[in-house]
Structure 1
Amino acid sequence: MASRQVRRRSRPRGCCSLAALLALAALASSPGRLGAAGAGEGGSGVKWHVVSVSSLLPSEVCTATEAAAPINPSALSVVHRHGPCSPRRSRGDPPPSYAEILGRDRERVASIHRKAGRAAASKGSNATLRARWGKPLGTSNYFISVGLGTPARDLRVEFDTGSDQSWVQCKPCGDCYEQHDPLFDPEGSSTYAVVSCGARECREFGSRNCSSSSDGQCRYEVSYGDQSRTVGDLARDTLALTPTAAVPGFMFGCGHRDAGVFGEVDGLVGLGRGKASLASQAAARYGAGFSYCLPSSPSTVGYLTFGGAAASASANAQFTALVAGQHDDASFYYLNLTGVKVAGRAVRVPPAAFATAAGMIIDSGTAFSRLPPRAYAALRSSFRRAMGRRYRRAPAPAPFDTCYDLAGHEAVRVPSVALLFGDGATVDLDPSGVLYAWDSVSQACLAFAPNPDAASLGVLGNVQQRTLAVVYDVGNQKIGFGAKGCA
C-alpha cells in the first residue's frame, strides 16, 4: 500500500502558549457562572469540556495520531477528503469554502430523504426492482487507500456506509472526471474477470436487461443525488486491504463513463448492509463486522478495520441494537435515538420527539446530524442556556442557527452533549462533535441541524462520530461507540 509521510503529534492540539494553558486552568477551576463542572449523569459523567479555541481549527499539516487502530491485519488509514492528508490538497488545491461544504451536505441529506420517500411510496411493490446497481445517495467525506488487481494497483477510494456498491474508474475511459492516480487497467491484472450477463450477480446487482450488451458483459450504472454518475462493467478482482489482508474475487464496478465532483479520488467502496457491499463481501473471510474511527480534525488520520476483531475493538464501547428500517431499505443502518443530554442533564422533550416517520440512520457521508424539529429545538435551547452570555453570538449560515464569535478567547467552556439510545446506551460526544468552526473562530456553531419536518429520516452524521470507535457488530445486529478511539 502506498504510505503518506505525516508529522506525529508530540503535544495536545491547540496547547501552544502559556497564556492558553493559564486560560484553560482558569476555566476548569471556576464553574460559577455556567454551572458546576465534574461528574454528572450517565456516560462518562462529564458535564463540561474546556477546549483551546485554536484547536477548533484544523492544521495545515497532515498529522498522525498516537492512538492506533486495533491490532488487525485488515486495518486501513482513514483520511478526510478536504484535509491536508487528502490527495487533492497534496496537489495544491485550496480547501472548499464553508458554503461548498454545507451545500454538498444539504445535497446528500436531500438525496437520502428522496430515497426514503421513494422507498415508502413503493413499499410492497415488486415493480421497483432496480435496473441500476446501487441507489442514489451522494458522495462521502472520507477515503482509504487499497490495492486492486494482481499485481495490486494502489487506489484512493471514498468509503460510504450509506451505499452498497463499489466502483473505480477503469481504462479505457473516454468520459471520466480527473482523478489523482492513473486509471485502473483491467488488462494489467491477471486476476481480473468480468461478470457475464447470465451470472447470478448480474441479475442481482447489475442490469436486468443485457440486450444492449453485444459482448455478453454485465453492465452497471450508479447515479448520485448531486448528479454524479458512473457507468461500466460489473467485474471481479482481488482487493488488497493491506499487504497481508485481501478479499479475492471482490465484486465491483469498472467505470468507463463517469462524471461528478468526487474530489479526485479513484472511486468508492460501499459499506452498507446489502450483499454487494465490501462489508458483506469481506465477512466470509474476516467475519461479520467492521469498525472505524474518524479523527477530531480533517488534518489527522483515523482507521477502518474489518472482521470479528473489529466487532470487539473497543472494550469501553456502549452498544445499541440495530432496528428495522421503516422502508425495507437494505443499505442503511437504523438506530433508535431517544434523547440527548446537555451538560449532564436530559433535554426537556419526550422520547417520542426523537422518533421520525422514516426512522434514523447512522451515516459516514453526512457531515452534520439532522434531528426532528422538536428534538432539535430542545437541544438548541439547552445548549444556548448552558453557553450563557459569556460568548458573543455570531451570524449563522443555514442550516445552523446557533453560532458564537470566539475571537479573542484563548479557551472556551463547552457543555457536554450525550446521545441516549432506546436500550440504555449513553454516548458522550467529543467536543469536536459539538462545536464546529470552518476557517475562523469568529463563527463556531452548534454542529446539529433540524430536519424540514417530523416525517423526514433522521441522520447521525460523521461530525458527531469524531474520535469514537464506531463498531458495526453486524453478526449480533448492534452498533457500539467507544470513547477515545482515535485523537
Structure 2
Amino acid sequence: MAHVQALPLAAFFSYFSVLFLTHFTSSESTGFSLKLIPIFSPESPLYPGNLSQSERIHKMFEISKARANYMASMSKPNAFQELEDIHLPMAKQDLFYSVEVNTGTPMKPQHLLFDTASSLVWTQCQPCIRCFDQTTPIFDPRASTTYSEIPCDDPLCRSPFKCQNGKCVYTRRYHVGDVTRGLASRETFAFPVRNGFTFVPRLAFGCSNDNSGFAFGGKISGILGFNASPLSLSSQLRNRIQGLFSYCLVREMEATSVIKFGRDADVRRRDLETTPILLSDLRPHFYLHLLEISIGRHIVRFPPGAFDIMRDGTGGFIIDTGTPVTFIRNGPYQTLMQRYDQILRSLGRQRIPYNASQEFDYCYRYDSSFKAYPSMTFHLQEADYIVQPENMYFIEPDRGRFCVAIQDDPKYSILGAWQQQNMLIIYDLNVPALRFGSENCANGRQ
C-alpha cells in the first residue's frame, strides 16, 4: 500500500500559532512543570494497591492492549477532521498517567487523565445534566471570575467545536455509550513552579456537563489531551513555552515523574541525539522516522517503507507515554521476533511454548546466572535510540521466566513508556525535533 508524506510539525501549527498568540496575555517564555503520576504510584487516583511484579506486568499488558485499540479507532482518513465521529474505548484503566492542575479564579484542583493520543482538554462542570461519579467537587464555572464561553463567531469555534442554538458546543464520543458534551470555553489554568504557580489565561477547554458511560469514578474529573492537534495543551502552550517540553520517566514507573515546559525543559547537553518529529495529515500523533532495528550488535533489516505512514492512517512509528509497552506492527514484528528468538537461543535461552496465560509471545526460562540480555537500538533518522536491557524485558523469577517487552499490533508501531525509562526526552516543536539521551531520571524529580 502506498504511504503518505509526513508533514513537518511547524507547517501544521502555522495558523493556530497566530490564533493563540492573540489569546495569551504574553508569549514570554515561562518555565514550569506538571507532575506525571503513574497508576502504580500511591499518589495516583487510579492506584490499584500494592501489586506483585506479575500483577503489574499483567496490568501494563492490559493497558497496552486497550491503548492500541484506542489509537486504532483514530486510523480512518477523516478522523483528524471529524473528531466527533471517532469511537475511542475509554475507561480509567485505559490510561497510565494522571496529572493535577488548577482551574479558575479562585483556583480549584482537578485530577485529569493525561492522554497523549487525545486532542481536547476537558473537565466536568456544574450545573450537571448528567455527570459520572466524582468524589472531589465538580468545577463550577459560575464561581470563577475568569471563566468565559467561546462565542460562535470566534475563529476557535470549529471542529471539534461547532455552533448550535447560538452556543459553541462539542460532542466527543470515546466509545459506544461513552460520550462527553458541553460548552467550548476558556479559563485560567494554573501550573506549579518552584515558588508558586504560573497562570495561563484563556486556555481553550471543554466544560462538560453532559457525560454518560464513563467508568472513571474517584477523583478523576476529565482528560488532558496532549497530542499534536491544535486544541491540545501542548499546542495551546506552544508560544508561551517557546515550543519546548520534556520529560524523564523514572525507572519501574511507580514513582512520579515530571513533564517540564519552556525554560525548565531547555537542557543544553552536547551528547543528546536529535531526530526529526514528523506529523501525518491523517492522525495528530508525534511520529519518528524509524529505519531499522538492532538487537545487540545484530541489525534486523526490513523492506523499504516498513514503518511508513500509510494512506489508510495506519503504520508509522509513534512515541507515546500513554502506552506502557512498545508495539511493532505485524510483518516487521514477525521478522524482528524471529531474529530475537535466534539470538536468545544462541545464548542458551530456552523458549517457553506460548499459552493463553502469557501476556507476551516470546518468553524464556529464567536463570539467575544469565546476564547477557541484549539491548535494542531503534535506528531513527539521524539518531540511534538505545534501549538498555533493564528496559527491554519483564523478568519474573517467581514464575521462572523472562519475556521480551514487545507486543505485535495489526496497524501500528509505538515506542512505549517502558522503553522510555531513564531517558531524557525533549520535544522541540520549532525545528521540529526530538532530542534524547540517557539519564538517571530519579535525580530530576521535583
- The question of a shared fold, defined as TM-score above 0.5 by the shorter chain, is answered with yes
> Within the alignment, does 1:472 sit opposite 2:441 as a pair?
no
- SS of corresponding position for 2:41: coil
Superposition CA RMSD, Å: 3.2
Aligned: 1:414 with 2:408: no
Q: Percent identity over the alignment?
A: 27
TM-score by length of 2: 0.78
Partner residue of 1:401 out of 352, 358, 361: 361
- DSSP 3-state at the match of 1:102: helix
Q: After TM superposition, list the pairs within 5 Å mapping 1:35-434 onto structure 2.
A: 73-89=31-47, 101-116=60-75, 118-119=76-77, 122=78, 129-130=81-82, 132=84, 136=88, 138=90, 139-207=94-162, 209-211=163-165, 216-225=166-175, 228-242=178-192, 243-258=196-211, 259-262=213-216, 264=218, 265-307=220-262, 309-312=264-267, 315-325=270-280, 328-329=281-282, 331-350=284-303, 352-355=305-308, 357=310, 358=314, 359-387=316-344, 388-390=347-349, 393=352, 395=354, 397=357, 400-406=360-366, 409=368, 412-421=371-380, 423-434=381-392
Distance 1:163 1:391, change over 3 A: same
Label 1:485 to 1:225 Cα distance change in 2 as closer, same or farther (>3 A): farther
Evaluate the alpha carbon distance shift between residue 133 and residue 113 of structure 1 in structure 2; reply closer, same or farther with a 3 A threshold: closer
Taking a change above 3 Å as real, the CA distance of residues 296 and 178 of structure 1, as seen in their structure-2 partners, is farther
Cα 1:432–1:385 change in 2 (3 A) is: same
CA distance in 2: counterparts of 1:412 and 1:174, whole angstroms = 58
CA contact 2:189–2:203 (8 Å) conserved in 1: yes
2:415 maps to 460
Moved more, 130-139 or 412-421: 130-139
Report SS of the residue matched to 2:117: coil
- Decide whether the 8 Å contact of 2:63 with 2:95 is kept in 1: no
State the 1:441 CA deviation. Answer: 5.2
* Residue correspondences, number: 396
Q: For residues 385-408 of structure 1, what are the alpha-carbon distances to aligned partners after superposition, in whole Å with 9 as ceiling and x for unaligned? A: 4433346637565662112353x7
Report the CA distance between 1:313 and its aligned residue.
6.2
Q: Distance in 1 between matches of 2:339 and 2:267?
A: 34
Offset of 1:248 from its aligned partner?
0.9
Q: Which amino acid aligns with 1:427?
A: Y
Describe the SS at the equivalent of 1:285. coil
Cα deviation, residue 410, structure 1: 7.6
- What whole-Å deviation, never above 9, does each CA across 1:363-414 have from its counterpart, x for those lacking one? 22222222133322233234334433346637565662112353x7387542
Change (3 A) 1:135 1:467: farther
Structure 2, gaps ≥5 residues long = 1-29
Aligned position for 2:14? none
1:356/1:457 contact within 8 Å kept? no
CA contact (8 A) 2:124 2:139 kept: yes
TM-score w.r.t. the length of structure 1 is: 0.72
**Equivalent-residue separation in structure 2 for 1:135 and 1:311 (angstroms):** 37
Counterpart AA for 1:365: G
In 2, the alpha carbon distance for the partners of 1:263 and 1:413 equals: 45
Deviation of residue 182 (structure 1)? 2.3
Cα deviation per residue 1:417-464 (whole Å; 9 max; x = unaligned)? 11111x231011143431135895545321112222xxx232222222
Cα deviation 1:274-325 (Å, max 9, x = unaligned): 2211111112222112112222223112110122552546553211112342
Closer, same or farther: CA 303–204 of 1 in aligned 2, 3 Å = same
Q: Which amino acid aligns with 2:82?
A: R
State the AA in 1 paired with 2:373.
V
Structure 2: distance between partners of 1:289 and 1:438 = 38
Q: Give how far 1:254 is off.
A: 1.4
- Give, in whole Å, the separation in 1 of the partners of 2:279 and 2:240: 26
Structure with more of its chain in strand, by fraction: 2
SS of structure 1 residue aligned to 2:385: strand
Task: Identify unmatched segments of 5+ residues in structure 1.
Answer: 1-71
Mapped to 1, the partners of 2:152 and 2:64 lie a distance apart of 36
Contact kept? 2:58, 2:359, Cα under 8 Å: no
Q: CA deviation at 1:136?
A: 3.8
